[in-house]
Amino acid sequence: MARPNMIKATRRAIKDSPREIFNWYLLMCTCIWSFSGVAKGFDEGNIASLVIMEVFKERFGIDKQTDHQYANTKGWIVAIATAGAVFGCLGCVWLTQRLGRTRTFQFFTVVYMAGIFGQTFSSGNPGALYATRVIAGIGVGATTVLPSVYIAEISPQPIRGLLTLQYTCCQQLGVVFSFFFNYGVTKYHAGTNLQWQLPTALQLIPALIWGVGTFFTPETPRFLLRQNKRTEALATLSRFRGLPEDHSYVQSEFQGIESQLNHEIEIVSGANTWDLIKETFTDLSNRRRFVLMFACHVFGQWSGANAVTQYSPTIFGYLGIEGTEARFLATGCYAILKFVSVLIFSVFVIDFIGRPYLKVTNGWTPEKIEASSSAMAATRAAIAAIYIHAIAWSIGWFSIPYLVSAEVFPLRIRSINVSILMAVHWAMYFDCSRAMLVSFWFIPNFPDSTGTYFITEEEAAMAQYRQTVSAGGIAEDDAGSYWDGFWMCMKEPFAHLFAAIHFFLIIAQSYKDFFPSIVATIGFSGTTTYLIQAPPPIIAFIAMMGISWSSGRRLEHGYHIIVPILLTLIGCAVMITTLNVGARYFSMILLVVGPFVGLNIQISWETTVVPRPRTKRAALIAYANCVSSVSHWFTPYFFLRNQEPYYQTGGGVIIAGCGLVVVFVLITKWYVAKKNKALKAAEDAAGEPEGWRFAG
């Protein structure tokens, strides 16, 4: 049966719905609750701007700190609010069950405003700043839970995605507000306390707007029904839909809500929080929902995009943008791009394409950068990459978790699950915020030091010297442009040998796309099949660690590739000739080990043999990867369903790939020996001691 067209189905649903359900009252309530998203975005952008202001650093006594101390202090100032947000999310669990969405939201709005007020008048006291940022974070955490749930419960099904995502739009609007407010204040009040106090205090205005606005919005019909207020629930739903209470559309939706609630109450009544948690994890469908949403929130934060927002002025400074105003302008443009992306996505895309598809989207000094044309090109490319990443992340990992979390759970366990998931969201946010500071400190800042920001100049010079020695004395000054590196790569025989090795290693790994199907041929149940897929990659990883250590210690690569790949050849031969369960499973372990180890050693080998110039080495790696990717075009066609469980054709291709890996590794070792023999002859003729050699 053909899959229904999502766009046509959504257009039909909107067309078949009464025009009255798309009304101003629904829009007003949505806007009021969505506007609270400004809190999260405003805080992200504002604190990112504050921590780089000289007047802020002087006021809080951090201007005299070392770079390491300042990085640590900056990290805590930025990240501590996200720690508070975890408690705000969890606090919603208990309160929403008793006070409802609206009263709980009003309470946390007051908490948020108290935190902002305290930050504004912390008077240079770091302890007061930390404490009030935690308090404000508690309020922000609650604003990431309640609006999505409220809007999802009042929205008509055809436009639920559109309305729910207005909250995420307002988050990005808050980032826009923060950066441009800081830009304007810095332009006219630079060097005064107003430069950091005024943007902080301005966060109270949006809070006042949505806080007062909630007094004009009712509770959701679903919550009212749960409180046995049937008449009030029906009247509220009628008002949201702009239709009389006896209209068929209102009656149908109301009966659907009521029957769902009655079913949930009938299953388990009077359950406490622990019962709801058990219901989440003991019911298979609920557990799957939770695991999926958990992964979405974790990966959405681990993408690092929120951390980029929090430190964007610092990042743009590393990329060569000078001056506080210029950095704020660049970050303001970054924020506008994210806001517009989410807005367009929410209005024109989400309800037509659907939720799952959007997951697919998911330093030098400024003076030296300006003095180098290649560095300027690199910094422009880096800034462009940040902007492109902002678009893709905004319409995928950013928006979808908020939307789907608010829709996917049954009403009975919705509040507690959304609260827990948002707590996870903020915990991962805190983790990434702190990790970003660690990366600033430990990330190599080549070529200034060939090390990290914390090593001394003497240590950096030693690192440069050791790299030059290991590269056979070839200086980086000879690098040339990236096109020069590409042409040097094309003239290098090693490049073509390593490309061939990589190509055939990927062919030997062609089982990867079909590994679940191959394991399933053993004949176990679905769950057992999933479980027994895990050991082979784990064993391959352990083997890779040991063999890589041996390769590095002996400075030998070729045989460290050949031996594992021959094991894969043997394993594949066993797989295509026997149905014995033990032998077949052991063959699958061997199948994984060889290519896994070989690819790791091969990359190490090619960068050791061609260490300099960097442009040539980079071109070699890219060339080998491009050539190897061609194998993905045809290898899937050899794993034929009618050849299950043996897959003789696919197995034959793997065996051929393994054999050709061995051939080209031996050719490469022969060529290495030839080059080393020429180096020795040249040294003997010149009367020089033995020097650098190509690694075999």
pLDDT at 144 over 60: yes
CA distance 20 to 305: 39
pLDDT of residue 396: 62
Residue whose C-alpha is closest to residue 162's, from 424, 352, 338: 352
Q: What is the mean pLDDT of residues 665-687?
A: 86
Share of the chain above pLDDT 90, in %: 12
Task: Give percent above pLDDT 70 in the chain.
Answer: 72
Name the pLDDT band for 368 (thresholds 50, 70, 90): very low
Average pLDDT over residues 588-613: 83
Mean pLDDT computed over every residue of the chain: 77
Q: What is the mean pLDDT of residues 5-21?
A: 64
Predicted confidence at residue 32, as pLDDT, reads: 93
* Topology (CATH) of 6-442: Growth Hormone; Chain: A; (1.20.1250)
**Long-range interactions of 359-362: CB distance < 8 A, separation 24+:** 359/296, 359/396, 359/397, 359/400, 360/396, 361/392, 361/393, 361/395, 361/396, 362/299, 362/300, 362/303, 362/392, 362/393, 362/396, 362/397, 362/400
CB 501 within 8 A of CB 659: no
User: Does residue 649 have a pLDDT over 70?
Assistant: yes
The string of pLDDT tens digits covering residues 19-68 is: 888 889 988 999 999 899 888 888 877 887 788 788 888 888 887 887 76
433: confidence class by pLDDT, cuts 50, 70, 90: low
Domain boundaries, the chain: 6-442, 480-686
User: Does this chain's domain 6-442 share its CATH topology with 480-686?
Assistant: yes
Alpha-carbon separation of residue 287 from 290, 291, 410, 615 (angstroms): 5, 6, 12, 49
Q: Please, which pLDDT band fits residue 371 given cuts at 50, 70 and 90? A: very low
pLDDT at 364: 40
- pLDDT at position 6 over 70: no
Confidence of residue 90 (pLDDT cuts 50, 70, 90): confident
Helices (H), 555-644: 558-575, 581-609, 614-629
pLDDT tens readout for residues 494-543: 888 988 998 999 898 888 777 888 888 888 877 788 788 888 888 988 98
Mapping DSSP onto H, E and C, the string for 240-292 reads HHCCCCCCHHHHHHHHHHHHHHHHHHHHCCCCCHHHHHHHHHHCHHHHHHHHH
| pLDDT category of residue 471 using cuts at 50, 70 and 90 | low
pLDDT at 72: 76
Kindly list the distances between the CA atom of residue 482 and the CA atoms of 425, 474, 498, 613, 680, in Å, as whole numbers in the listed order: 40, 17, 20, 10, 31
Taking alpha carbons only, the member of 293, 304, 319 closest to residue 390 is: 304
- Cβ-contact 132, 122 below 8 angstroms: yes
Half-sphere exposure of 239 (CA within 13 A, CB side): 15
Sign (positive/negative) of CA torsion 654, 656, 661, 662?
Answer: positive
The pLDDT tens digits for 204-214 are 999 999 999 99
Q: How far is CA 258 from the centre of its chain?
A: 39
CATH 1.20.1250.20 fits 480-686, yes or no: yes
Q: What is the pTM of this model?
A: 0.57
Q: What pLDDT is stored for residue 218 in this prediction?
A: 92
